[in-house]
Amino acid sequence: MPRRDPSERRLRPILTALVALVVACSEPPPPERVAPPEPAATPVPTPPVADDCPATGVATTPLPRTLPEHETLAYWLARTQELADLDRPVLDLAAVQALNAATETSPALGFGGRVDLLAPIDVAALASGLQARLGYLRERFATGKYVRLDGAPLPAELQARYGGEIMPEALARDMRGPLSASTGTKEQVPKDSQDLPELRVALDLIPIYCGPQTEPYYTPSRDPEFDRNLCSMARAQELVQILRPWDGDLVLARTSYVVGWIDLRAAALSPPLSLAEARSFLRGPYRRVGAAIDLPLEAGGTQPLPFAALVPVAPGAPGRVLVATAAGVSSARADDLRFADSPRPLTRRAVLEEAFAYLGERYGWGDRNGGRDCSRYLMDLFAGLGVLLPRHTSDQAIAGSYTVEVAPGLPEADRLQLLDTHHRRGVLLLHFPGHIMLYLGRNAEGTPMVIHSFAEYLIPCEGRRDGAPAGERETLLKVDGVHVSDLELGRGTSRTAFIQRITKITVLGPNR
């Protein structure tokens, strides 16, 4: 989920992410240096005239220096073919499985990692993560860093919900599902019985709140599009685990990638699944929906499925899928060109095909209104190929095969050299605090380009001085979607250019 520079007054302030332990990965041995080609000159966007510097505006489409052909799949397939074999897997099946397993077990990811919803619940880890998150939010309320939309502080009765210590023993009471062996109260392995986790399927978007309330809160900029209480949303046909009742209609719940609170009264959920159904929805294999459709069910009627939904293949019936409905799980035919297999080999062609399938999809902080922020875009993109990334940017940045740390003062020529070297090895994600992008490579003119979901960027106004404070003689342009851009956006502003801000290069591919 994107985060913004704290110094940017009257612009979007910093995102407060889920509290998670973040441990930097070691950079691999430096490769043999190869002189990169000279990049083509990339002029700064034409700024407004000296006496016309609006605070905000709307970006053009395509973005500056992005040509129409740059936003086509065919262009990047041709460019990538010059670099590597499009159809050779960058990671084999065993390597992908190891990568997925690491997102559940890596101590570096901690509370930001993924979880196996069929595994016994680790109440101690859950309590520790929730305690850290609520403590962080409590401090934000107390210092006025999070307020209501009208600028007023959260009422005392709401702030009180974030007080007190979350103890594992208390949390374990009323828990719906088997607890880990350390708790010693329930079975280690779930059976099709009362110890089965309460697993349901989302039938529509379901908000997952960061704290135990449904009311939104914001940074002092009070932008209604950035509700800091919206951690994510469960999307249609995703598995949701109901953990325990909380307060009123609120329950503590989780998906495989985020934990938080949902309003059970308003949540569109299927009835609880059987163990066999849960295994299918959690383990796959799946068919990925290529466009929003109303899928005819074999039992009669239809079920709406959104673009990019993953529906499990019916066991023993390759041409059929299982679909959750308000009445339970039904089957349907899904053997036409609207569906693609998942997982499938992690090739450069497959990654590009998935990436460009989302082109033009709208941006949404925490999946607001069904949009996707930068990390949700990448998580869904790679899920369609069978690669399970964490939900948030800082966690995705350390969840690849290996991560290259980019020193703050590293010259831009050396940054480009790192991109060239590691792009030959595999698929690259480029991270700076609060944002993450998929690297496409260099265009025909030698300019490095990316595809990403993002909300905005800055351009300088005429007369802006180097080192001027944030908000002085610069305009914030809204993008709000998945687009192709170069890494020059932001040049000459308080945020600086994307290429200057990159702190990590995350590689999916062999470290050699």
Beta strands in 5-150 (DSSP E): 56-58
Beta bridge partners of 453: 482
Q: With 90 as the cut, is the pLDDT of residue 20 above it?
A: no
Q: State which H helix or E strand residue 221 sits in.
A: none
Name the pTM for this structure. Answer: 0.88
Q: Which of 28-32, 151-155, 368-372, 472-476 has the lowest mean pLDDT?
A: 28-32
Sign of the Cα torsion 169, 170, 171, 176 reads positive
Strand residues in 411-503 grouped as ranges (E): 427-432, 435-442, 448-460, 474-486
Does residue 439 lie in a domain region?
Answer: yes
- Asked if residue 209 has pLDDT above 80, the reply is yes
- Identify whether residues 500 and 356 lie together within a single domain: yes
Whether 351 is covered by a domain: the verdict is: yes
Task: Assess whether 334 and 404 both reside in one domain.
Answer: no
Tell me, yes or no, whether 439 and 465 share the same domain.
yes
What are the tens digits of pLDDT across the range 182-194? 654 444 444 444 5
Examine the domain organization and report whether 324 and 381 are in the same domain: no
Whether residues 377 and 460 share a domain: the answer is yes
| pLDDT tens sequence across 290-335 | 999 999 999 999 999 999 999 999 999 989 999 999 999 999 999 8
Residue 170 has pLDDT above 50, yes or no: yes
298 and 413, same domain (yes or no): no
Higher pLDDT pick, 79 / 25? 79
In a domain, 385, yes or no: yes
Tell me the two tokens of residue 132.
């850290």
Give a yes or no: residue 84 inside a domain. yes
Q: What is the mean pLDDT of residues 136-162?
A: 96
Whether residues 356 and 497 fall in one domain: yes
Q: Of the residues 317, 342, 367, which one is the last residue of a structural domain?
A: 342
Same domain, yes or no, for 405 and 495? yes
Tens digit of each residue's pLDDT (9 = 90 or more) over 416-428: 999 999 999 999 9
Answer whether residue 283 shows pLDDT above 90.
yes
Residue 293 belongs to some domain of the structure: yes
pLDDT in tens, 232-273: 999 999 999 999 999 999 999 999 999 999 999 999 999 999
**Looking at the domain assignment, is residue 255 inside a domain?**
no
Task: Give the CA radius of gyration of the chain.
Answer: 23
Q: Is 17 helix (H, G, I), strand (E, B) or coil?
A: coil
For residue 234, is it within any domain? Answer: no
Coil vs helix vs strand at 447: coil
pLDDT tier at 128, thresholds 50, 70, 90: very high
Residue 161: inside a domain, yes or no?
Answer: no
Q: Look up the domain containing 455 and give its range.
A: 52-91+346-512
Tell me: pLDDT of 160 over 70.
Answer: yes
Whether 133 and 18 have beta carbons less than 8 Å apart is answered as: yes
Which of 342, 362, 388 finishes a domain? Answer: 342
Q: Tell me, yes or no, whether 294 and 382 share the same domain.
A: no
* Strand 250-254 relative to strand 206-209, pairing: unpaired
pLDDT tens per residue across span 88-111: 999 999 999 999 999 999 999 999
Q: What is the mean pLDDT of the chain?
A: 89
Task: Answer yes or no: do 378 and 451 share one domain.
Answer: yes
| CATH number of the domain bearing residue 434 | 3.90.1720.10
Is residue 413 domain-shared with residue 464, that is, in the same domain?
yes
Question: Is residue 351 domain-shared with residue 402, that is, in the same domain?
Answer: yes
Number of independent structural domains in the chain? 2
